[in-house]
Chain A
């Protein structure tokens, strides 16, 4: 573990990313304490510029506090990003492992199914799903998972394909081990590193998709999110720039930080790859 941290901290920007993410998490965790009120509450004079009327980052056209929205929205973004990614990784591992391990017709069928999902433009597919399921936090999570698992499935399949012919897996067959045990205990732990890396990068994408959906008004109407804020302020971009800008910067910084961490994990978990460069 210490070894892992030593390798991780060699990448300075990854450490920076980690610090930013920790700050965002801290912000989300203390949201109810920092702004102990409903972010949808009309808090004061509409369209106050930052620093006036007691608004740190200004207020929107209905007088809602932008700063409160950002702090509460952080919770939504992180939660949706994390849950949607976990679901997607789970489906991806399931498909990829079965396809890679058994090969043949099973592989053929599972991979053709995966391709169907891959050929549909993911954002449009997500919009379609949310529209069908009615906007709510659950349908957003489902939509994001459904459009993002195929990448994991492909990756896991590749890893399983190469690992299943390794001699240590064959040795397990000669010991009479069951397929399930071989997949879970022998092969899966050996492909965790790339899964962790791709998973961390998927969280960033999930946050972006969620923001996009809320921007279009397809988010959960009862939950504050960054995308919703941008959507609410887009008509006044020239007269009240702060309404869109601050949530936008929040998305930018968070996604960037997650990507930096993902890259840092990649370096730390696959040290050989890095030495080759």
Chain B
């Protein structure tokens, strides 16, 4: 019989007056046993992170507080214990891993010193002992050269190494409960797979109860024993992982799961033979600059693009897939001339555009447009939505009335309310802002659309709406699209062909179906095998939401 570690009963967390709802979480009940992984799943604003913080006693008091219910940990109600007792518990009995390891680690302290702190505050050990134990820990989480890592500062490690160091710190005192708040969201898929495996191994070794907070059903499928789904602060469904994932009961869970893109590629369109864009041997190097009078050593050089060659055919969607630092965004920015290339040729309709002067390039701007990643940074907060959309045509010399008329049309095409025209961007949600961004890029009636991770900042249910919208528009306006993404699930659903990039090189290019069925390059094989939840089949026959209908969320 496994011991019950944590028992939360009827927990309510109250938000300050003037918030969009009275309670952040309502009537939350949960249990965690030894050696068990409980996944809390939900979209942003569902209250999953606050639940975790309440267990650690880390609510931003006094504005946000537990107003009802209890959190029982080993016969002790955490909501009522003294601050000193809470501090004893934190780190030693209950510990936490955060999403962003760079901000969770102190940048001015070496990793060794930060691990040492935990021992100094919680247990009585000699300095040599503490040192020895810290090295053991780093070794346990498979960090190479633990002695060297001890002396390293956070910025000297890679994202994955930092998260390993965080895990080492969290497990330093063999806590009974480990709370992980989206610990792999900021990491690349291959790193994510390694970290998830490490967490699983460590859990087995220490028999820890893990409370894992995530928005990614793929991750849930890989690691959870039990799942709890939250929406607007309420637990809508909970149960064993197989039951919830394969046979969801609550409509919200059903909607969430059906919004997860399937890994089996969709049917590819017949691709026309006509090339609309050619990229040949494009190279781009960053760095190497010197100071004012050319003194000093040139800064470190990074080859962001190495001899990249690819073609875009009329009417197709070409996916560019890769992890962070693979050069995929640089490629997009070179094609649309936000950056200059060092060498090579980018050709549209027989004209080489990457060497055109800025003035001459202006005439080509309406052929090729871009949708950006971050819906919050990509709209100017001081300009009204209508003007944001009409700006492009006006800049290109189209009369103001006509541009405004086109903007109104586009607002309805992307599924927004007509009143949106006179509002400012901050009045819209992430998904709606992304629609505005898409409308802006379409205002010039482009032939080629570059979408740079257009859905990676969005919740999964909104993500599917935006993908459907892009799909509709592509058909309607006969666009050819370059779709940049790190998410292979999204790529499978959107792209006709795919180019896989690593360290600035295209390592594999071909039909999406062929790549998923028979990846050739070892890196592609790695990427595909690292996709979380790949063994779990999502329902492939998902209903397509009509893009115009839903734009509320």
Contact = CB atoms under 8 A, between A and B. Distances in A.
Contact of B382 (A170, A171, A190): A190
A108 B292 contact: yes
Contact of B378 (A112, A167, A178): A167
Interface in A104-149: 105, 108-109, 112
Contacts of A51: none
Contact of B372 (A112, A171, A178, A181): A171
B444 A175 contact: yes
B377 interface: yes
Contacts of B380: 168, 186, 189-190
Nearest to A192: B382
Contact of A166 (B369, B377, B391): B377
Contacts of A167: 372-374, 377-378
A174 interface: yes
A172 interface: yes
Interface in A161-201: 166-168, 170-178, 181, 185-186, 189-190
Contacts of B365: 174-176
Most chain-B Cβ atoms within 10 A of its Cβ — which of A176, A177, A181? A176
Interface string B254-297: 00000000000000000000000000000000000001100000
B361 interface: yes
A171 B378 contact: yes
B338 A175 contact: no
A175 B291 CA distance: 32
Contacts of B382: 189-190
A171 B370 contact: yes
Given A108-B292, A170-B338, A176-B362, 15 more contacts: A109-B292, A167-B372, A167-B377, A170-B333, A170-B372, A173-B338, A174-B370, A175-B365, A175-B392, A176-B361, A176-B395, A185-B383, A186-B383, A189-B380, A189-B382
Nearest to B382: A189
A187 to B, nearest CB: 9
B33 interface: no
Nearest to B362: A176
Most chain-B Cβ atoms within 10 A of its Cβ — which of A167, A170, A185? A167
Top 5 A-B pairs, shortest CB-CB distance = A167-B378, A176-B365, A176-B362, A175-B392, A167-B372
Interface of A: 105, 108-109, 112, 166-168, 170-178, 181, 185-186, 189-190
14 contacts: A108-B291, A109-B292, A166-B378, A167-B377, A171-B378, A172-B391, A174-B370, A175-B395, A176-B365, A176-B392, A186-B383, A189-B380, A190-B381, A190-B382
B336 interface: yes
Interface string B372-390: 1110011111110000000
Contact of A112 (B292, B368, B381, B395): B292
A179 to B, nearest CB: 9
B546 interface: no
A108 to B, nearest CB: 5
B254 to A, nearest CB: 34
A171 B377 CA distance: 10
Contacts of B381: 190
Contacts of B369: 174
Contacts, number: 63
A167 B292 CA distance: 28
Nearest to B446: A174
A117 B374 CA distance: 39
B435 interface: no
Interface of B: 291-292, 333, 336-338, 361-362, 365-366, 368-370, 372-374, 377-383, 391-392, 395-396, 437, 440-441, 444
Contacts of B333: 170
Contact of B391 (A105, A170, A175, A190): A175
Nearest to B371: A171
Nearest to A190: B382
B340 to A, nearest CB: 12
A274 B158 CA distance: 34
Nearest to B444: A175
B378 A168 contact: yes
A111 to B, nearest CB: 9
Contacts of A185: 383
Contacts of B396: 175-176
Contacts of B444: 175
A177 B391 CA distance: 9
A188 B157 CA distance: 37
Given A170-B338, A170-B372, A177 B395 contact: yes
Nearest to B366: A176
Contacts of B437: 171
Most chain-B Cβ atoms within 10 A of its Cβ — which of A109, A112, A170, A186? A170
B391 A174 contact: no
Given A174-B338, A175-B444, A176-B361, A168 B379 contact: yes
A231 to B, nearest CB: 44
A178 B394 CA distance: 12
Contacts of A171: 370, 372, 378, 437, 440-441
B406 to A, nearest CB: 13
A166 B372 CA distance: 10
Contacts of B374: 167
A168 B426 CA distance: 14
Contacts of A109: 292
B61 to A, nearest CB: 15
A147 B449 CA distance: 50
A108 B292 CA distance: 6
B365 to A, nearest CB: 4
A91 to B, nearest CB: 22
A172 B377 CA distance: 13
